């Protein structure tokens, strides 16, 4: 028995201090299958890494940067009939079926029930990803003796949707307002935010919206990150050779989900303008999502389909090749919490164009490079593309400054600081003989 104690002490000791494992539950409260292809049968066999979710990426960074915490990743999906559990490395993944309720969105009673049971029996920290979800709303209201963090993902409330639609005289503005009242978001978001311990937001717009509902000392700007060692500049010709792209053609890249709020319609219309005088321009659309059929229909309708290259999701290690092969990267979003595409492109020193919305201006400012255009403006996008492709002087982004904001190591460190603080606040006198493993 003594040998076991000695071995455990050596294994867990850090700076002469024994490290006791604490459990973090990272929870994504929307279906990933709306954005990426999810082969759940293969996942169940442990064959496919569940790496697309922000919660999964953060979990890996927490494990990499701290020996204090065990991390589990939980998620929900409307395409699941039964619970699913598998393990990858040191992280356990659990997925729960969800139901899409009319007007109220996606809810997973099974996840909430299992989380409640766990919180009543163990000491844990709950870290929820996404604000405006009834799964998110209900967890803090039902579990009241456990520290809870919510990470804003760039999602917006129905009220914000009303404001945005009203700006452009969209007929859907009234529908957003009615839905805000029907879903009683005005009540649930306030009750939820009063109960939680921390709220991390992505941009100043979100900060302004949430501040009236939460104590100032509980909210801060904290984003997701990238690996700056992976996303770095490489030779353009070499990158194109790896992808089988032509050396003498011009490539415009979009990388991300095919969803309407990304403004891809306006990028396609910008391509239509460019192709009037530049037949050697090609648009690479890398990603997937429910909006793909609409994009293909529009491309055929405006006569640019032959100049579009559709590329499905690729593993993260290959993403820098696409950024380096492109002449310019465009993110034409109508709204955007952060714009991780902008971070990845600029880290690779690829010329970047983004809509002047959400967190994209922050990214451009922190890198000291990039062009901002008005959303929904195809002509402005086309003009910016021509300007960047024709530019003679090579611009260099400030990678070191940007790394302070978007480097995973720094982001993981701040999350860990908050975990340590909350653990001490809730259980600073915990009995080390009665710990959760």
DSSP string, 110-174: HHHHHHHHHHHHS-EEEEEE-SS-HHHHHHHHH--SS-EEEE--S---HHHHHHHHHHTT-TTHH
Least confident interval from 5-9, 226-230, 235-239, 294-298: 5-9
* pLDDT tens-digit series, residues 108-135: 999 999 999 999 999 999 999 999 888 9
Tell me which CATH homologous superfamily contains domain 13-225+408-427. Answer: Glycogen Phosphorylase B; (3.40.50.2000)
Instruction: Provide the pLDDT for residue 389.
Output: 93
Least confident interval from 230-239, 284-293, 353-362: 284-293
The residue with greater pLDDT, 323 or 36, is 323
φ, ψ for residue 253, nearest 5 deg? -115, 135
Q: Find the mean pLDDT for residues 93-112.
A: 88
Q: Find the mean pLDDT for residues 361-373.
A: 96
pLDDT at 16 over 70: no
Give me Rg for the CA atoms of the chain.
23
Domain segments of the chain: what residues?
13-225+408-427, 236-401
Strand pairing class (22-28; 69-77) = parallel
- The span from the CA of 170 to the CA of 172, in Å, is 5
Q: Find the mean pLDDT for residues 59-79.
A: 92
The residue with greater pLDDT, 85 or 20, is 85
Q: Find the mean pLDDT for residues 339-364.
A: 96
pLDDT at 59 over 90: yes
Instruction: Provide the pLDDT for residue 124.
Output: 96
Q: Do 13-225+408-427 and 236-401 fold alike per CATH?
A: yes
Could you tell me the pLDDT band of residue 42, with boundaries at 50, 70 and 90? low
Q: CB-hemisphere CA count at 13 Å for 104?
A: 13
Query: At 224, which helix (H) or strand (E)?
Result: none
pLDDT at 206 over 50: yes
φ, ψ for residue 3, nearest 5 deg? -65, -35
Instruction: Provide the pLDDT for residue 20.
Output: 56
- The span from the CA of 200 to the CA of 419, in Å, is 13
Could you tell me the pLDDT band of residue 51, with boundaries at 50, 70 and 90? low
Q: Find the mean pLDDT for residues 191-205.
A: 94
Instruction: Provide the pLDDT for residue 38.
Output: 61
Instruction: Provide the pLDDT for residue 50.
Output: 57
Looking at every residue in the chain, the average pLDDT score rounds to 87
Least confident interval from 13-22, 220-229, 379-388: 13-22
What CATH number does the domain located at 236-401 have?
Answer: 3.40.50.2000
Q: Which residues make Cβ contacts (< 8 Å) with residue 172, sequence separation at least 6? A: 165
Instruction: Provide the pLDDT for residue 7.
Output: 39
Q: Tell me the angle at which helices 360-367 and 399-406 cross, rounded to the nearest 10 degrees.
A: 140
Could you tell me the pLDDT band of residue 9, with boundaries at 50, 70 and 90? very low
Instruction: Provide the pLDDT for residue 2.
Output: 40
Q: Which residues make Cβ contacts (< 8 Å) with residue 254, sequence separation at least 6? A: 262, 264, 267, 283, 284, 285, 286, 287, 329, 330, 331, 332, 341
pTM for this prediction: 0.85
* pLDDT tens-digit series, residues 246-282: 999 999 999 998 989 999 999 999 999 999 999 999 9
Least confident interval from 202-206, 366-370, 402-406, 409-413: 202-206
Could you tell me the pLDDT band of residue 18, with boundaries at 50, 70 and 90? very low
């Amino acid at each position: 028995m003594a040998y076991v104690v000695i071995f455990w002490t050596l294994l867990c000791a850090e700076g002469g201090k024994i490290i006791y494992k604490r459990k973090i539950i990272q929870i994504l409260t929307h279906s990933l299958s709306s954005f990426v292809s999810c082969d759940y049968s293969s996942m169940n066999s442990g064959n496919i890494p569940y790496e697309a979710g922000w919660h999964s990426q953060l979990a890996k960074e927490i494990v990499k940067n701290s020996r204090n915490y065990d991390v589990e990743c939980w998620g929900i999906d409307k395409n699941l009939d039964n619970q699913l559990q598998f393990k990858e490395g040191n992280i356990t993944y659990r997925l729960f079926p969800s139901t899409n309720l009319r007007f109220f969105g996606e809810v997973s009673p099974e996840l909430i029930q299992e989380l409640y049971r766990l919180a009543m029996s163990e000491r844990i920290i709950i870290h929820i990803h996404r604000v405006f979800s009834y799964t998110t709303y209900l967890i803090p209201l039902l579990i009241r003796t456990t520290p809870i963090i919510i990470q804003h993902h760039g999602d917006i409330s129905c009220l914000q949707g009303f404001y945005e639609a009203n700006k452009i005289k969209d007929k859907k503005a009234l529908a957003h307002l009615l839905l805000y009242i029907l879903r009683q978001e005005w009540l649930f978001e306030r009750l939820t935010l009063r109960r939680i311990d921390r709220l991390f937001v992505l941009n100043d717009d979100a900060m302004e919206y949430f501040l009236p509902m939460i104590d100032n000392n509980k909210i801060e700007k904290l984003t997701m990150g990238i690996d700056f060692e992976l996303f770095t500049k490489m030779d353009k010709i070499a990158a194109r050779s790896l992808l089988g792209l032509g050396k003498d053609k011009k490539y415009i890249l979009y990388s991300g989900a095919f969803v309407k709020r990304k403004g891809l319609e306006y990028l396609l219309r910008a391509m239509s303008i460019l192709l009037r005088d530049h037949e050697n321009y090609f648009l690479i659309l890398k990603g997937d999502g429910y909006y793909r059929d609409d994009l293909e229909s529009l491309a055929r309708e405006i006569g640019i389909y032959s100049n579009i290259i559709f590329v499905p999701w690729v593993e993260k290690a290959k993403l820098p090749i696409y950024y380096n092969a492109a002449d310019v990267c465009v993110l034409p979003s109508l709204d955007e919490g952060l714009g991780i595409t902008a971070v990845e492109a600029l880290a690779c020193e690829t010329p970047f164009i983004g809509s002047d919305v959400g967190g994209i201006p922050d990214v451009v400012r922190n890198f000291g490079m990039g062009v901002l255009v008005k959303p929904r403006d195809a002509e402005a996008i086309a003009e910016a593309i021509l300007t960047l492709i024709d530019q003679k002087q090579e611009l260099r982004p400030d990678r070191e400054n940007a790394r302070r904001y978007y480097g995973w190591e720094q982001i993981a460190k701040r999350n860990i600081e908050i975990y340590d603080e909350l653990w001490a606040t809730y259980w600073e006198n915990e009995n080390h003989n009665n710990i959760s493993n």
